[in-house]
Structure 1
Amino acid sequence: MNANQFGEPVSGKTVSARVSPAGGLDILSRNEVARLRDASGSGLHQLLRGCALAVLTSGNLSDDPGTMFGKYPDFDIQVLQEDRGIKIELKNAPEQAFVDGRIIRGINELLVAVVRDIVYVSTQLEAGAFDLDDSVGITHAVFEILRNSRILRPQIDPNLVVCWGGHSISRDEYEYTKRVGYQLGLRAMDICTGCGPGAMKGPMKGATIAHAKQRRKGNRYIGVTEPGIIAAESPNPIVNNLVIMPDIEKRLEAFVRLGHGIIVFPGGVGTAEEILYMLGILLLPKNKGIPFPLIFTGPKNSASYFEQIDRFLRLALGDEIATHYKIIIDDPAAVAHAMVTGIDKVRNHRLDNKDAFFFNWALDIPLPFQQPFRPTHEAMAGLALHRDRPRHELAADLRRAFSGIVAGNVKEEGVRAIEQFGPFVIDGEPEIMRALDDLLKAFVEQHRMKLPGGTAYEPCYVVRT
């Protein structure tokens, strides 16, 4: 049986209600309402329904989106246009989102964020407002989505720490993320994560206690997600600013543009992909000299995880890669101190270069980092994992290789493709590929990567000879 964030079973009981939106969504056009109600393939209703159910089951500990749809098959949501603004009609919604028949305020706000972002992105795309074939155009799209969500706030000194890590981590690792968040909160840092459980919730939870101790108000607990992830990683209850980006790549760019530094906790393959994405950007010659603190940390029993990551990065990208990150084990105060010191350098650099505090315009993020990667056989064959390439290009292709290999082992579409067309053929150095396999095997052994039926990891590719 599924449980909520307090370990209580999710009963499957439902409530139907008509609620007034809280948190800044007053009116929609008739066209926008019609699209949200449209359940056809070109409409937005199915997307709205899935994201809304994720929000209404906020705090659910299951990472299987199908479980929630199975538990609430009759759930529906409609946005209604009325004389005094819009109403959100919920039918057979999870009871856990209500108290005495009234929707919880925080969940109401997250529900509004879902409606807001789905409507805004679809309307802008339809109007051709975003040029998604151009690097500058994509960054503009990320900026506009974040601005529309009211997350970008001027006149605030840099203090936003992005935290990455697994949504399914050990209890010891989760408790450690809370301790780090607590130390960050004592130092007036705000938190931005992927909005889900595990390493995305822990830092926020620790920071809330520290912020309360410091009598600090206006705290930001920002959650950045995308439609393909939100159902499996429902927003945790602490998130007070939620934004849904159109895809994974724009989500990653949002983290980098919003944040003033990044802390990486233990995770799985997704976390490894995020590390490679960030390092690929920092390795770009145009970004040389731009400060951006990047810290890997975990409790003592997670030290081997970062040792393996570090070995792989040094082998593939050279020992110099380690100058772009710090590894701090089992010392939350040292992590927070290092982050504050790094963010001070960010602040001074932006003052010197007249760059905004609320959006990182200076970092160059080229088009290949911004475009979604679909791991088809053709796309995987186009990768080149060789150390004679520019390191930022190799880092980007390593991230894509991780994505494809995981898809071929775990995701239904990828497994079917391997069964139908055979293994991927990858152009890669044998030493790099062996190291990559060793890393993935370690993830499986440490239960950081779940394979169907509990099978052992087997490569879903061959190296081109």
Structure 2
Amino acid sequence: MPRHVVNVSVTPRGSMEILSQREVQQLSEAGSGSTYQLFRQCALAILNTGARVDNAKTILEAYADFEVHIHQLDRGVSLELRNAPADAFVDGQMISSTREMLFSALRDIVYTESELRNQRVDLSTSNGITDYVFHLLRNARTLTPGVEPRMVVCWGGHSINTEEYKYTKKVGHELGLRNMDICTGCGPGVMKGPMKGATIAHAKQRVIDGRYLGLTEPGIIAAEAPNPIVNELVILPDIEKRLEAFVRVGHGIIIFPGGVGTAEEFLYLLGILLHPDNSELPFPLILTGPQESAGYLQQLHEFVGATLGSQAQARYEIIIEDPVLVARKMKQGLAEVERFRRERSDAFHFNWLLKIEEGFQRPFDPTHENMANLELRRSTPPHELAANLRRAFSGIVAGNVKDKGIRLIEQYGPYEIHGDPEIMQPLEALLTAFVEQQRMKLPNGSAYQPSYRVVS
């Protein structure tokens, strides 16, 4: 990929990010420490915001000589960037949104590492993991007590077509006109469109505190660099804590067309909503897209019916080509969420009542062995089957776009996914459709090479 680089030092604007001498040392071990390498990768992704590259390996290789050094000052810290992407600067000055996100990454990575070394953090229980997610979000100033429910999470693909992208902007616009905020995975495509639509609507309604919250994690940030509309960026430690953050801070979710990553998120949420303890809990969930995407949404709907049953299908609504109806339905759903939480004295800013089992919280390592050993059986309870299907899609995402997954596929070949024919046949049909519709990642415009093989 072509590149232009600059060498520059930057400091945060506004409140200074303060680091201890030990934290600075962890980030300055001659570039050899794991904390430094993690921050370097996230920083490089943020500096590539707007670049038309969604392959972590390609970005890391193109800027192999990129360095970031942290210096402690009397009044805070500064970052010395060497061989940094020049597109992050205008007339020698770093773009403000890029600067904000760069120091958000520093904040989150340092805090995560510090918390993990803190013996008070309990990652051995479900409640302990939820408490950890809460503390990460609170440290990022994401949680605002007392504000009525209005945070709408939007999930969908990062490489959707033009008509689908325009539709996401229309939906975002209608949400913004009704004073709703937007939370996405912070990248391009569906992660940008609703935010872009909402910014115009918020301007029309003179909303000056509109929130465009982006939640990501280190393993995927280089593949989905934050879009510049994001005004709150949080980097969670792994995909499972990122997903839990979505459903804890979001008051409702809209799912647009996408690929395997979207299917992973959808199955994660369905698995949680299907848990018996969540049967009465209101959580508005809408699948929507333009008319040309009706077939995709129907196929996803049929896949859910074939694998998880009608009970799962009853937890969401499908709306085709009607942004106004989507926004009105979501507004009604959020009113029900507010009523439910008031009656039970639950917080508006963090959904404590939502039951999430440990199986949804434990990080899944998509090795060839773990992918082959997934229990995809008809006899598995629906909420557990949804969790395992989610892991299967997570592995495919890793093989498609994550640096570690790409290298595993290069070394050992495609993952093998085993299960009952009643599960495998709908799964293979859905994945085949994703490929035919070009909803799988296509590196450098080349034909998609599957990172998986379905075996029944």
Task: Work out whether residues 17 and 107 of structure 2, in 8 Å CA contact, stay in contact via their aligned partners in 1.
Answer: no
Partner of 2:263: 272
SS of structure 2 residue aligned to 1:362: coil
Task: Work out whether residues 377 and 420 of structure 2, in 8 Å CA contact, stay in contact via their aligned partners in 1.
Answer: yes
Partner of 1:171: 162
Partner of 1:142: 133
Q: Which amino acid aligns with 2:260?
A: V
Partner of 1:460: 453
Greater alpha carbon shift after TM alignment, 185-194 vs 373-382: 373-382
Partner of 1:362: 353
Q: Which amino acid aligns with 2:428?
A: D
Q: Which runs of 5+ in 2 are unaligned?
A: none
Correspondence list, 1:339-358, <5 A: 339-358=330-349
Correspondence list, 1:412-431, <5 A: 412-416=406-410, 418-419=412-413, 424=416, 426=418, 428-431=419-422
Q: 1:70 to 1:401 in 2, by over 3 A?
A: closer
Partners of 2:40 and 2:245 lie apart in 1 by: 24
Task: Work out whether residues 409 and 415 of structure 2, in 8 Å CA contact, stay in contact via their aligned partners in 1.
Answer: no
Greater alpha carbon shift after TM alignment, 32-41 vs 299-308: 32-41
1:406 CA drift (Å)? 5.6
Task: Work out whether residues 405 and 461 of structure 1, in 8 Å CA contact, stay in contact via their aligned partners in 2.
Answer: no
Task: Work out whether residues 162 and 255 of structure 1, in 8 Å CA contact, stay in contact via their aligned partners in 2.
Answer: yes
Q: Which amino acid aligns with 2:155?
A: W
Q: Cα deviation per residue 1:19-45 (whole Å; 9 max; x = unaligned)?
A: 221254431100001111125654321
Alignment of 1:223 with 2:217, yes or no, is no
Of the three residues 281, 290, 306, the one matched with 1:290 is 281
Of the three residues 34, 45, 64, the one matched with 1:43 is 34
Partners of 1:365 and 1:415 lie apart in 2 by: 31
Alignment of 1:192 with 2:186, yes or no, is no
Q: 1:92 to 1:412 in 2, by over 3 A?
A: closer
Task: Work out whether residues 376 and 423 of structure 2, in 8 Å CA contact, stay in contact via their aligned partners in 1.
Answer: yes
Q: Which runs of 5+ in 1 are unaligned?
A: 2-10
Of the three residues 362, 376, 379, the one matched with 1:385 is 376
Partner of 1:53: 44
Q: Cα deviation per residue 1:128-187 (whole Å; 9 max; x = unaligned)?
A: 332222111110110000000001111211000000001111011111100000000000
Partners of 1:417 and 1:291 lie apart in 2 by: 45
Partners of 2:29 and 2:323 lie apart in 1 by: 49
Q: 1:438 to 1:45 in 2, by over 3 A?
A: same
Q: 1:36 to 1:183 in 2, by over 3 A?
A: same
SS of structure 2 residue aligned to 1:155: coil
Partners of 2:67 and 2:373 lie apart in 1 by: 42
Correspondence list, 1:41-440, <5 A: 42-404=33-395, 411-416=405-410, 418-419=412-413, 424=416, 426=418, 428-440=419-431
Task: Work out whether residues 440 and 457 of structure 1, in 8 Å CA contact, stay in contact via their aligned partners in 2.
Answer: no
Q: Which amino acid aligns with 1:460?
A: R
Greater alpha carbon shift after TM alignment, 35-44 vs 128-137: 35-44
Q: Which amino acid aligns with 1:216?
A: V
Partner of 1:5: none
Task: Work out whether residues 165 and 190 of structure 2, in 8 Å CA contact, stay in contact via their aligned partners in 1.
Answer: yes
Q: 1:13 to 1:457 in 2, by over 3 A?
A: closer
SS of structure 2 residue aligned to 1:63: coil
Greater alpha carbon shift after TM alignment, 371-380 vs 142-151: 371-380
1:460 CA drift (Å)? 1.9
Of the three residues 15, 32, 44, the one matched with 2:23 is 32
1:455 CA drift (Å)? 5.2
The percent identity for this pair of structures is 56
Partners of 1:16 and 1:438 lie apart in 2 by: 49
Task: Work out whether residues 27 and 33 of structure 2, in 8 Å CA contact, stay in contact via their aligned partners in 1.
Answer: no
Q: Cα deviation per residue 1:178-198 (whole Å; 9 max; x = unaligned)?
A: 000000000000000000000
1:377 CA drift (Å)? 4.2
Q: Cα deviation per residue 1:333-377 (whole Å; 9 max; x = unaligned)?
A: 111111111010000000000000000000010100000112334
Q: Which amino acid aligns with 2:416?
A: F
TM-score normalised by length of structure 2:
0.94
SS of structure 2 residue aligned to 1:154: coil
Partners of 2:47 and 2:417 lie apart in 1 by: 42
Q: 1:175 to 1:409 in 2, by over 3 A?
A: closer
- Give the number of aligned pairs: 451
Q: Which has the higher contact order (CA 8 A, sep 6+)?
A: 2
1:424 CA drift (Å)? 3.2
Structure 1: which 4+ aligned runs deviate by more than 6 Å?
none
Greater alpha carbon shift after TM alignment, 355-364 vs 45-54: 45-54
1:85 CA drift (Å)? 1.9
SS of structure 2 residue aligned to 1:79: strand
SS of structure 1 residue aligned to 2:198: helix
